[in-house]
Amino acid sequence: MILGNKGRMRFLEAVAGFESAVRERDAERAEHEFQELYQRFQEAGAQETAQAARRLAALLDEVPPGPRGTVAVIIGACVERGADPADCASHVLDALADTLAGVQEFCERWAATGGGEPPDPEGEQDPALFDRVGPGAALAWLTLPQWEMACVAMLNHATVRTGLGAERRTGLLTALRAVQEATGREFKCLHHALLVLDDEPLIVLHRPTGTGYALRMSGLGDNFQLHTLLADVLIGGGHLPGRAPSPAEAAVCRDRPGQVHTTGSFNLVSPTGEWVWNEGTPCDIPVVDGARLLVLDPPPYQRSWPAGRFFPHMTGDLVLERALAPEEAARLLAGCVTKETAGG
């Protein structure tokens, strides 16, 4: 225990040393203290990581661009070990916005100097890259995977997602999509995390029985997760016929670790007849009269997958609020088309 406490103290001492060196602009000492901080991180306990997360997040703007992304990853790791994301998220997401702006500059300069496939930001780098696009733009591109890791650690928490604000979320998504389009590289985890909905109303219509249901979903990373929970709530709850997922299949889609094999129960369809793919997210479901509207058809063929969560550290849920009155369900279904009548 004494050795453990000493290790924890050394971690906070390294954090303090790094803070001091950064604020004094002593690059050599900052590098040394950062290496010490990095090495001592595994020895730190919950109280120490909570303190470190707050302090490092507040310091983030002053950290030079090179190591800034790695510091953000450490902040994210502290949050995954129990530090309060509310103390850190605004600093990390602000830095993400700045990084995306730098990556857009990278894309413009890369295209203006001959284009071609951009270098893998996680691979070995040609030093000429910094001369070609400029140090700031190059560092923004090379550190974007680190910002993805750090920001997903923040966005795993509902308090961060709901506090993000529609305008800021849209701005980050717009900038990220522009980068993905310009580079051809997916930053799927960050993209999906920014799309996660919370306390979102969902109207589901089951075409074979003509019934409808009002539900509310939160923290669902993809439509595989939604599909399994729909079957759990509606079939497992006795509202619809069919195969209900086992308790284990449903639990791993909510808050239990791991994955469990499952089989699909429905075909997810939009009101205009297009398939809503399991690989997509609940944001793909169209909004009709203020709520997302989804139609359940019989599956055209058997599909199976490992049930679980796209984001293992994100809690998800789907709650049934009420069954629609028969006349309400019939009215809504009358406005929906099948794939055939939609011309598909």
Whole-prediction pTM: 0.92
3 pLDDT higher than 50: no
Distance of alpha carbon 163 from its chain centroid, rounded?
A: 15
Residue 140: closest CA among 110, 112, 167, 184: 110
Main-chain phi, psi angles of 122, to 5 degrees: -105, 5
Residue 196: closest CA among 105, 311, 57: 311
| pLDDT, tens digit, 9 for 90 and up, residues 299-322 | 999 999 999 999 999 999 999 999
Q: Check residue 41 and give its pLDDT.
A: 87
Distances, alpha carbon 25 to alpha carbons 19, 35, 173, 304, 331, in Å: 10, 16, 34, 55, 67
31, with CB counted inside 10 A (0-12, 13-18, 19+), is middle
> Rg of the chain over CA atoms, in angstroms?
24
| pLDDT, tens digit, 9 for 90 and up, residues 90-105 | 999 999 999 999 999 9
| pLDDT, tens digit, 9 for 90 and up, residues 108-150 | 999 999 989 999 999 888 889 999 999 999 999 999 999 999 9
